Every structure is written in structure tokens, then in C-alpha cells.
Amino acid sequence: MKLTQDELEFLSAWAREEWEPACYQLPAHRLQLAHGVAGAQLIMFIKAWTEAEGKRDQAILDAGRSRQPGWPWATDDTFRAR
């Protein structure tokens, strides 16, 4: 799966936040909750990206630098279509 740069920024920030004890208080996780998306759905995007790119799972941690990512999907339909 080819991800957009905005998707990579968001998913990278989300993955880095997963290591934090209070991750659901951090920006990417707050966006996840606001949009009602399960973490498993985001992990599916990450796995599809690593398989398509031939990368290890941990590569997502360095795929973006933003600490305040935006929600990269314009609508719920856009998210589901991905």
C-alpha cells in the first residue's frame, strides 16, 4: 500500500505515541478517538505499508517527524476506501 505523506506523518506519530504511558492524551491518539477509529485499523495500514515497501514494522517510527499531525483522511468514506 502506497501511503500519502500526510498518512505517513499521522501513522508515524501514532506509532511513536504508542510507546508512551498516556498515549491517549497525545495528539494522534486524540484524533483517532475523535474519529472513532480502532487502533487495529491503523495497524492494518502500517502493516500494508511495511509489506509493500519491504520494511520492518519499526520503520514506521522514523517515517514522519510531526508531533502534531493532522487527520489525513478528509472524510470517513475516504478513510474506509483506503
* Alpha carbon separation from 76 to 34, 35, 79 (Å, rounded): 12, 8, 5
pLDDT band at 1 (very low <50, low <70, confident <90, very high): confident
Residue pLDDT, tens place only, 15-71? 999 999 999 999 999 999 999 999 999 999 999 999 999 999 999 999 999 999 999
Report d(CA 64, CA 79) in Å as an integer.
19
This prediction has a pTM of: 0.94
pLDDT band at 77 (very low <50, low <70, confident <90, very high): confident
